[in-house]
Every structure is written in structure tokens, then in C-alpha cells.
Structure 1
Amino acid sequence: MERLGTGIGWRPEIADAVERMPGIDWVEAVAENVCPGHLPESLRRLRERGVTVVPHGVSLGLGGADRPDDARLAALAERVEALGSPLVTEHIAFVRAGGALTATPHLEAGHLLPVPRTRDALDVLCENVRIAQEALPVPLAVENIAALISWPGEEMTEGQFLYELADRTGVRLLIDVANLHTNHVNRAEDPAKALAELPLEAIAYVHVAGGFERDGVWHDSHAHPVPRPVLDILTDLASHVSPPGVLLERDENFPEPAELERELGAIRRALEAGAVERVKAEVRSAGTALAVRRAETGPTAPLNSGAPEKATGPRREAAGALAQRKADRPDAEAAAGRHDGAGRGDEDGAVGAARGALGLPHPGGDGARQRVGLAQAALLSALVAGTPVPEGFDRVRVGVQARALAAKRADVVAKVAPELPEILGTDYRTAFLAYAQTQPMTDGYRRDALTFAEHLLSAGRPGDTAVRRELREWWLERSGPSPRSRRPVRRLARATRKVLLRR
């Protein structure tokens, strides 16, 4: 694996600061925000200086029940080629659900949601990863995500799930230590145990980020300083292996460049502390092994005699569990990797509960993809469409996640369509959150902005006639086949009025 070194997430808001920042070996850019034919000048300059740029995808939904979309894969491959990247990364998550596979409404989460750690979900994920690997021109690495909620009936720990994913597909892993901390707080999962079960040789690089805790829930905001517990997990990881690369993520609420540099310094010190512990452990291990061999064969035995040291502890247990699962599967099924999605025969209770929560009859057919799809559609529908929470989920946490998704929708729509909060003023957020309660997102955020405006207009809102007229003009300009020529004039007039009112 290529050594990347220390990096930072490239964002347009901090592009100039990143270019001037000392000690930056590489950067990561959100793939969907990069246009291959019109690369930002900052990224061009960084590449010319020899700084590696890695595209980081957020929309494939490799953990979803459907096969990866060909167009999304082609777009991601195009960005890899444009940036000359040595690898590309995505997430172990689902971001949409429903559709033809499950005969349910298509829904978009607008967020990375956790997949259940079950054999069905693993089978689907492995096949999706293989499809993506074949379509991409460079190696793929996939990231563990942060989550507010846990799936009922999980069959593996996170470490075991990642171990088997890497073993079955050869995919590399992007380990986010901030997400391990999030899952420790929100789902009582031990980050040390997860690290001990990981196939360390599969790690491509590591993410480090900040967040905040509110009412016992950790929010992975990427908008706050990296806390000490996250740095401690990084040190623990570095005590086992020297990661090829480490990257600081920051997506909003950007501090001064000096503060980012201080955070990078803290990350380097955490890595150094882990490296010291790793060397100490290696010395102790070598001394113990030498003492044992000399006790067995005498003081003149060569230092390299005997079998190599075997894996111990949780990592050996994970490997043993994997071997047992392989032994339990029929030879033909194991050889095929269960690519056809076939698995357990009849619909089980979880599938029945999923269909019941959606108020749907059984459509016939079977297979891992359909079972995973039904479960994910039921959960996502509860999160964004207000349907009943599927049995086994923590209803309070599902409510917290639902409110977080609605708030994120409001924030992102305000960014992609900044005219909306400008037109609606302080009423924007209240109006959007009320809209989001009954109108789930079925496409991207730009379409969501248009649907929100249409929803308001069809209800005769806003009450102010002048504001409603302005909103209608905005909607007509963007929903029609071509831009309306009067819009730039009206925008200039509005800006002029604002200047005059300040005087």
C-alpha cells in the first residue's frame, strides 16, 4: 500500500489555507463536488506540486439492497482519472431504499445510514463491492460509518463484519477513528475490541474528525475540534500498525488555519505515541519468544528458529469465526460467494415485520437483496416519512435520527438554493421542517428545493403576497425548460434595495 502521510480534507472554503499549510502530503476531496472537466484551480496547483488527491464518494450506497448504479460508478471513475488518484474511497452505508426490488416507494436519506451486521447484509455488500471494484480503475477502500441507531438481531461485531468483508473481497479499509468513538457513545461498542478484530494489513488510511455530545448522544459533526478520546483511539490503532495515511476531516464551521495546523500537530503526536507503544510491544514480544525458544532448545538456538508467531486475542477469534462460517457453508455456495443473493428459504419474522411496518403484502420472490431491501425501506420510511418504527429499534433514537435528517435537509437545501432562505427570511427553517415531516426526499437536494417551493405555493404560502410572488418567480425560473431572463435584473434590484435600507 502506498504511503500517503498526513493529509487534510480539501474543501473550497479552506482551499487557500490548505495550499499554504506546511506538512500536508495529500488531500481528500468529496467526489460528487468535483467536476472532472473543470477542476478547481486549487486542486490543480496541489497536483502540480505532487500532492496526492483522493476522491471520497458519498452517494454510491454500497450497503444498499440494489446493485451500484452504473452511471454513479462511471462518474466516480471519471473523477479518479481526472485527479490522477492512486485509490478511491466510499462508505459502508445505505443512502436510499425502496423501489422495484421491494415494490415500495423510492426514498433518499440524504445521509449515510448503517447496514445491519448480518450475513444477508454482508452477502449483498460483498457483491456490491465486487461490482464497484470491477468498474473502478484504481483500488477501492471503504469506510466504517458513525451511527445513532443499532439494528436488532445483528450477528457480528463491527470488527468481525469488516474482517470478513475484507477477506471475501480484498477491499481495503478506510478506518474512521472518530466514527469508532461515535459508536462507542451511541451504541456502547468498544473501539479497542473493534481495532483488535480488524485485518490491519487491509487499512488504506485513517480519518480523524470532531463532534459533540448532547443529551447522551454523540453527533459526528465534522464541525468541532478533535476530542481527546478520538486521539486516544488513534494512538491505540497506531500501537498495532503504522497506518499508510491519516487525514483530518472538517466540513463546516472552519476555524483559522492556525487552529487546523494545531489539530494536525495533535494527530501527529497521537501517532508518535502509538508508534512508541508498538515498538515497546515488539521488543517485549521478541524477548518473550526468544526466552521461550531458548528454554525449549537451549541457549545456542538461532533467533529465527521455530514457527512464526501466530495471531492472538480478538483478531485470532475473528479469523477463527470466519473460518468456521466458511466451513459451515456448502462448497458451491462458498465458491460462488452467494453472488445470486440467495440465502435462507422462506420469509422470516424480521421480513414480515418490515412489510407490516410499510403496510405491504408479500410480493413473492426471495433472496438476500430483497430481505435487506425490505428492512432498509421500513427503517428509512420511519425516519423520513413518519411510518411506524420497525420492531426491535429504539424508538427514541430513531426519533433523534429522524430530526437530525430533517435538520440536515434544511441546511443542505439552504446551501444549494441560498435564495430560499433569502426570500423566506426567518420563516425558512420552520417552513422547511414542517414540509420535511410529510414530504420525504425522493431525489437529490436540488430537486428537494424545488419540491419545497412548489409545496409552499400550492398551499397559498407564504402569506405575504410580495414574498409569494418572488418565490413563484424563483420556482418558475428553475423548474422551466430554460432560465427566465428577468431573474438577474430582479436579483440586482433586490440587492440594491437591501443596500439602500442599510443607510
Structure 2
Amino acid sequence: MELKLGTGIGWRPEIADAVERLPGVDWVEVVAENLCPGRLPESLVRLRARGVTVVPHGVSLGLGGADRPDAGRLAELAARAEALSSPLVTEHIAFVRAGGALTASPRLEAGHLLPVPRTWDALEVLCENVRIAQDHLPVPLALENIAALVNWPDEDMTEGQFLAELVDRTGVRLLIDVANLHTNRVNRGEDPAKALAELPVEAIAYVHVAGGVEKDGVWHDTHAHPVGAEVLEVLAELVGRVSPPGVLLERDDAFPPEAELAGELSAIRAVVAGASPGPGAAPQDPASGLRPGRRGDLRAGGGWSRSSPRPSTSGLRPSNTAEAAPPRGAGNCATSHPRPADVAPAARPRDFGKGRGGEEEARRTRLAVAQTSLLSALVAGTPVPPGFDPARLRVQARALAAKRADVVAKVAPELPRILKDAYRPAYLAYAKARPLRDGYRRDALDFVAALIERGGLDDGVARQLGRWQKERSGPRRQGRAARVLRGLVRAA
């Protein structure tokens, strides 16, 4: 069965009621990490009862990182897909953390999606991580291209070539964000039309559209501004090449009135309807030329079918598994993706795809060192790695710190109320010396502890912060099940 999503919008709690009322919403996407599978929001329950498809969109796997995917995170994403009866799940081509065992250094969290170097080493690691994820997810996987402020030095491929190689070797689907293509045009000088010409557009599962703003020559992909003509032009370029199964409007902050959301959806529909695929465009059937999904159907294509050889799952399953891994290198898909005649594939090194074991670990270690050096410069103030633009890294570092301050303010809204105008400068000063390591709730507690330890606070503010800290760092009351179990143990 062909996957056909239609026009959708990102579901967020702040606009849940509006999303239910908006006309012509065929499907919604929800941030996977914000859901509890056993306790879905009532709004999503009502939407599903109406037949609206819900797709979980992950942000924390870090498949582009040097480490193998975390089994717990994969299990949580799988549980959300099952709870929502979703036809696919999506994630990003990005790394979100670095350090740890591969570099014998402290683990660092970015709190943001950071770009993967478009090198053969990084591609090998990404493909292996994608195979592990595919084998542990109950539905097909699609991966999103991200926006970036920085360029990695000495890259081997363009974005289009990198995505084409990824699809060719893993059969993964693509989630193409046209706003991110525009962001990379402004920030990195990359032509969206060239990227679209090089990637296998028939592998697209769906498309993201979002707004942003340009400041001082840098485009900020805010998801908090209206979708501009620049982004709609990239959408038209894409739709001129392929009819995507779905197009979705993303909005994450500064939510406008319902009528404005409806207007943006209408503008997106008009572009999709008005830009019919031209000569030589990819077939409209999104499953054409792609492997069946992991459940053996064609709902989303591009996964591992039950009858296909499965990828290696080293790191998550015993090494003596009887399932054979597919051949590495070119031709991993049952059907190769055609490229336009004037687009040459990236030239591969002679040993690309060879070796497992020691060589795979060597690739992971090289990537780990590079990513840790970059992330440490961004969040811990260490020297800028060779080849990077220091000015652009300063912009990215400020953006990461600002986003971190915003998230902590949402996780602990009492802190901006207590500190008022002093919250943001105090938090940014704290963040310079304290990289994010254990999540935002822990970060909020550490921030308050640092303020109290430093001293110099107004007495009333200090008392409020002390009460807040005590309430959130004290022992939690046990749940009913734990109390019953303790009683039974004592009675035995």
C-alpha cells in the first residue's frame, strides 16, 4: 500500500486545540521524546480516533554520532511508534552528544542538532548506525537533513551526494526539510537546486516547511516566524521534481493565531498543487524502486523486509547472531536510485566499505575525536579545531547557549519568575563554565546550586531559590506499587 500522508502540521501542546480545528489537516507529527506511550495527550487520542495519522519525530538518537545507537533510546522510540500505530518514524542526520569512552573524556550534550562531516568515515559510521536502528524499529525509518551554521573542513561530498550514498547503502527514507536547504544556502553557500538534483527524490517520505529569520547575514531556522517566500520557492523546486507523499508545517514557538496557521497551510497547499513535477521527475509512487518496509509492506518503503538479510547489530546484540549482514558498499538496495545524467556520484576511496571490526572501530574513534573537539569548542570554550571559522563558531556557540537558557526556562518556569531580568545573564554566565551533561532538569538544579554557592543574592530571592531547590532535589515519594511491594516484603 502506498504511503500518502497529505498536508500536516506539527502537533504541539500550545496549539493542540487549534490543530484539532484546522481544516484539511490530514496528519500530524509529534516530538517523540515529549510523549509517554501509556499516557497520550487527549488531543492526540481524539485526532487518532478521527483517522488522523500521527508520526513520532525523534530528536535525541544522534545517529550521526560516533557511538552506536543507545538501545534504551531505540526501545523508547519503538514504543512510541507502536503506541501511535504510526506507519514510520523519523529522526535526523546529526550528532547531539560527544565524548565518553571513545575519547576517554567527559560526555558532552549539545542540546541541539549538529552537522555530520560529509566524509567517507562519517558516512560509514552513519550507515552502520542506521542499520542498527532499522533492525530495532517496528516500522520504517526516515532521516531529516538539518540546518547548520558551520562547515566542516575537508569534506568529501556535497549534501546531495552524501544523502544519495546513505539511501543507496541502507534503503532509509528521507525527510527533506526545505527550510533547512534554504538555511544552508544562506549560511553555507549551498544551492538547494543542486542538492535536490543530486539526491534520490523518489526516496522522500515527506517534507518539512518552516519559517526563520535572517540577522547579520545569518539565517536562523527559528520555527517561530512565518514561512517566507524564500522557503516556499525551495518547496516549489522540490515539487517540480517529485510529488512528495506528505508536506508538513513546523512551528515550535511564538505561536500565531489559528487563522495565520490556516493561512500558512493554504500557502503550502497552493505551492504543492501549482508546481506539478516536470519531465524526468521521479515517479509519484513513493515506494517505487525501494525495498519493502520491515513489516514486508510498502507503507513507507525503504526499511529491511523480513525476508531481507538484516544489518549487523554489533553493540546491541550478541556478536554471534546468526543473521547475516548485507554486503557493504554500493548496491546494497535491491534497486539502485537513478541519478540525472549530468550528476556524477561522489568518487569513493578504493577501500570504502571494506573491513569490519578493527577498521570500523578506528573510523568511530576518528569521528569521535573530531566531533568532541568541535562540541567542546562550542560548549566548553576549548580552542577552535583547525579548519573551522572562529567567527562562525562563536555565532553557533551563542545560539546553543541561548537555546539552552530557553529550554531550562521552560523546564523550570519558576526560575525566570524568581530571578526576573537577571535570569538570562545569570544563566548564560553559568553555562560558559558548565557544559550540559545530564539533561535540562539536572542543569536547572545545578544552575540554582551554583547561584546559591556564589552568594550575593537578594535575601528574598535566595530564600525562594532555596525552597525551589529543596522541593526538587529531595527524595521523591514512592509510588503506590512500590509501597505495596515494600509492605509485602516486610510481611514475608
Give the TM-score range, shorter chain: 0.7 to 0.9
TM-superposed deviation, 1:480: 1.7
Map of 2:188 onto structure 1: 187
Superposed counterparts of 1:262-341, under 5 Å: 262-275=263-276, 278-279=277-278, 311-315=339-343, 317-318=344-345, 321=346, 325=348, 328-329=350-351, 333-334=353-354, 338-340=355-357
SS at match of 1:427: helix
Q: Which has the higher contact order (CA 8 A, sep 6+)?
A: 2
Question: What are the Cα deviations for residues 362-403 of structure 1, in whole angstroms up to 9, with x where unaligned?
Answer: xxxx61101000000000000000111101000001000000
**SS at 1:63's partner residue?**
coil
Task: Answer whether contact 2:241 2:278 (CA < 8 A) is retained.
Answer: no
CA shift digits 1:449-502 (9 cap, x unpaired): 0110111111124x2122112101111211121279xxxxxxxxxxxxxxxxxx
Q: Distance in 2 between matches of 1:236 and 1:405?
A: 31
1:314 Cα shift?
A: 4.5
**8 A contact 2:198–2:339 mirrored in 1:** no
Partner of 1:391: 386
User: Does the 8 Å CA contact 1:341/1:369 hold for their aligned counterparts?
Assistant: no
In structure 2, what is the Cα distance between the partners aligned to 1:273 and 1:447? 49
Task: Identify the residue that residue 254 of structure 1 maps to in structure 2.
Answer: 255
Residue 342 (structure 2) pairs with residue 342 (structure 1):
no
Amino acid at match of 1:342: E
Q: 1:281 to 1:64 in 2, by over 3 A?
A: closer
Residue aligning to 1:79: 80
Aligned ranges 1:202-213 → 2 under 5 Å: 202-213=203-214
Is 1:158 the equivalent of 2:159? yes
Distance 1:233 1:469 in 2: 53
Identity of aligned residues (%): 69
Amino acid in structure 2 at the alignment position of 1:393: F
TM-score (norm 1): 0.81
RMSD: 1.6
Measure the CA separation in 2 of the matches of 1:280 and 1:140.
29
* Equivalent-residue separation in structure 2 for 1:213 and 1:341 (angstroms): 45
Contact 1:127 1:339 in 2 (8 A): no
Q: How far apart, in 2, do the equivalents of 1:170 and 1:339 lie?
A: 20
The match for 1:373 is 368
Task: Answer whether contact 1:197 1:314 (CA < 8 A) is retained.
Answer: no
Q: Structure 1 pair 341/451, CA: closer, same or farther in 2 (3 Å)?
A: farther
Q: Check conservation: 1:124, 1:341, Cα contact below 8 A.
A: no
Of 438, 443, 449, the match for 1:448: 443
| Distance (Å, rounded) in 1 between the aligned partners of 2:458 and 2:150 | 41
Structure richer in helix, relative to its length: 1
1:391-417 deviation digits (Å, cap 9, x = unpaired): 100000100000011111111000000
Matched residues in 1 for 2:3 and 2:358: separation?
A: 34
Which structure has the bigger radius of gyration? Answer: 1
Deviation at 1:229, TM superposition (A): 1.2
Residue of structure 2 in register with 1:425 after alignment? 420
Q: CA deviation at 1:340?
A: 3.5
2:410 paired with 1:415:
yes
Does structure 1 retain, via aligned residues, the 8 Å contact 2:61–2:73? Answer: yes
| Aligned 8 A contact 1:173 1:203 in 2 | yes
Q: Which residue of 1 aligns with 2:467?
A: 473
Provide the C-alpha distance between the structure 1 equivalents of 2:272 and 2:448, rounded to a whole number of angstroms. 49
Unaligned runs of 5+ in 1: 283-309, 344-365, 485-503
Residue type at the aligned position of 1:476: K
- Tell me the distance in 2 between the aligned counterparts of 1:39 and 1:474: 29
Q: Tell me the alpha carbon deviations over residues 130-170 of structure 1, each in whole angstroms, 9 at most, x when there is no partner.
A: 11111100000000000000000100000000000011111
Deviations 1:181-229 (CA, angstroms, capped at 9, x unpaired): 0000000001000000011121100000000000000000000011111
Pairing 1:102-141 to 2, within 5 Å after superposition: 102-141=103-142
What's 1:58 paired with? 59
